[in-house]
Structure 1
Amino acid sequence: MGVAENFRAFRDKYLIPTDTVGSISYRYKRITKQLNKDFWNTDSETAHSLYVGSYGRDTAAKGVSDLDVSFTLPNSLYHTYNAYANNGQSALLQAVRQSIMRTYSTTSVGGDGQVCVIKFDDGITFEILPVFVNSANTFNFADSNGGGSWRTCDPRSEMQAFLARNREANGNLKAIARMARVWKQHSNVQISGMLIDTLAFNFISAWEYKDKSYLYHDFLVRDFMHYMATRDVNQEYWLAPGSGSRVYRTGNFQRPAATAYQNALKAIQNETDNQFWARTQAWQAIFGSAYPS
């Protein structure tokens, strides 16, 4: 197979399987329905809930284990819990946790300072972030750490910015974000999904082949790995697209990106030289067995 056929086959292997998507949707709707029943007095399976994080940006890949979901609460509850003398934020999270447990009573449902965490037996974890819409049309959310406080986030602007740039880039933004997640998992790279997406967002705007398709995905991998490898090792954070929130580094991703860049160069040269076994070996050094033989 040629470059385009190989990367199409690779895409089939890194996309989230349909049965996993169905399971995620089923759980999302059950959680949403219970929260709506308790906090909005409705039976809707979709109202007030929003996929956020990598699943919301549509950059998650096969093997995704963490699902981030925001759930908007009535603003009257913000005033109720804000009036608590001590850590109303913790009390709010506990109320949401109790609601979820009415549906998933035998599943582990815990708290993590800002979210309610639901751990399922198949390794999938839902993290529910209760939010309030504020006057700026962004979200306020509870942080129960350090005695309790309110913080803000704007995932909707992040998703809108990401979607718009992906359209400008002929789908290549989502493609490289997903492929980078396969690389991260295979090479155990210390980088968050949000930082991958932020760097990919910044990179793709100036990439000279952004209007191309699968035939250029070998160059896409090569050039993005080079871009990541050449980021300032002293830079502590980058600004998220849309929201401008700080996205912090969690480790050195530049060194493994430099190694991946060298392997991409080898793969492309092997393709040119018709050394197809060596080409596959070089790509699998980056992506593991997810890249087709």
Structure 2
Amino acid sequence: MGVPVCKHGEVIEKEVRSTISTRYRSVTKAINREFWDITSDTQHSFYVGSYGRGTAIDTSDLDILVELPEREYGRYDVIKGNGQSRLLQAVRNAILTTYPRSDIRADGQVVKINFSDGIQFEILPAFRNWDETYKYPDTNMGGNWRSTNPKAEQDAMKKKNSSSDGLLYDTCKHIRRIRDEHFKSYHLSGIVIDSFVYAAMGNWRWLSDGESSTSEWGDYERTLLDYLNQHSGQFFPLCLTAPGSGQSIDTSDSMICLRKVLQYMAE
């Protein structure tokens, strides 16, 4: 017997959401004070990652994009010897003024905050481009700049979730829960989950009150597994692009876990 997707089966508790909001505002205020010389706790930042896309569960990391002034890009871009790393350190130091006792470290493209209650924040400093995309620092390979378009991804996910009467979000959360409870030793990234479900679910949706369906129990879950089997194999990986932005997604280290989760759901 498989484990089917549940309607509205994952809801983050109100107390946890309140804690997340308080910390989000505190981090935003610290960044604004340091880089914008203002005390706003909401300007120049927004949720990204699974929380921003509406697919987070209570074990998900919290990702926040903090927009920095363009002058800071020019300042760190000209530094020889990984100016991107120095930018992350400057963001880290700003956050330390608010959370001096927390475990805060720069890691690749983000600043990670590990709170004692197990909640982890990942802060992505970024600069807005003219087309509403963002460039952000990557400290790997000597340092460079990468591009992201989280708002386009959020808009696309929200639109498809609406047309599926909530099935998109419910499926993404269901997969995260199975991953965390049964396959925790494997890696499966949130963007792979969301991009896969967005592509694989087709026109499936939750039924409205009074509607009936000819589909049998488990058909939807088997549809997802069939999509994976048809679009990937032993010698060729699953090709995915992020919803809305169309950016290519690296699935190489998530394939084993994704297959295990889908098999657990369908078989």
- Normalising by structure 1, we get a TM-score of 0.79
Q: Which runs of 5+ in 2 are unaligned?
A: none
- Between the two proteins, what is the percent identity of the paired residues? 34
Equivalent residue for 2:188? Answer: 191
Relative contact order (alpha carbons < 8 A, sep ≥ 6): 1 or 2 greater? 2
1:172 aligns with 2:155: no
Greater fraction helix? 1
1:243 aligns with 2:238: no
Question: Please, which of 72, 76, 84 is the counterpart of residue 89 of structure 1?
Answer: 84
Q: d(CA) in 1 for partners of 2:105 and 2:87?
A: 13
Equivalent residue for 1:56? Answer: 52
Q: Which runs of 5+ in 1 are unaligned?
A: 1-5, 263-293
Q: d(CA) in 1 for partners of 2:58 and 2:105?
A: 25
CA RMSD of aligned residues (A): 2.3
SS of 1:60's equivalent in the other structure is coil
Letter in 1 for 2:42: T
Over residues 182-207 of structure 1, what are the superposed CA-to-partner deviations in whole Å (9 max), with x where a residue is unaligned?
12222315421111111111123333
Letter in 2 for 1:42: I
Q: For structure 1, which segment, 215-224 or 133-142, has the greater mean C-alpha deviation from structure 2 after superposition?
A: 215-224
Q: d(CA) in 1 for partners of 2:84 and 2:264?
A: 44
Q: d(CA) in 2 for partners of 1:228 and 1:261?
A: 12
C-alpha change, 1:256 and 1:165, in structure 2 (3 Å) is: closer
C-alpha change, 1:236 and 1:221, in structure 2 (3 Å) is: closer
Deviation of 1:31 (Å): 0.5
C-alpha change, 1:255 and 1:7, in structure 2 (3 Å) is: closer
Equivalent residue for 2:198? Answer: 201
Deviation of 1:213 (Å): 4.9
Q: d(CA) in 2 for partners of 1:7 and 1:147?
A: 45
Give the paired residue count: 252
CA radius of gyration, larger in:
1
Equivalent residue for 1:224? Answer: 224
Equivalent residue for 1:289? Answer: none
SS of 1:36's equivalent in the other structure is helix
Equivalent residue for 2:262? Answer: 257
C-alpha change, 1:36 and 1:118, in structure 2 (3 Å) is: same
Conserved? CA contact 1:169–1:205, under 8 Å? no
Q: d(CA) in 2 for partners of 1:149 and 1:202?
A: 30
Deviation of 1:109 (Å): 0.7
Letter in 2 for 1:40: W
Deviation of 1:255 (Å): 4.4
Letter in 1 for 2:243: P
Conserved? CA contact 2:231–2:239, under 8 Å? no
Over residues 86-143 of structure 1, what are the superposed CA-to-partner deviations in whole Å (9 max), with x where a residue is unaligned?
2111111111111000000010110102111111011111110000011332001011
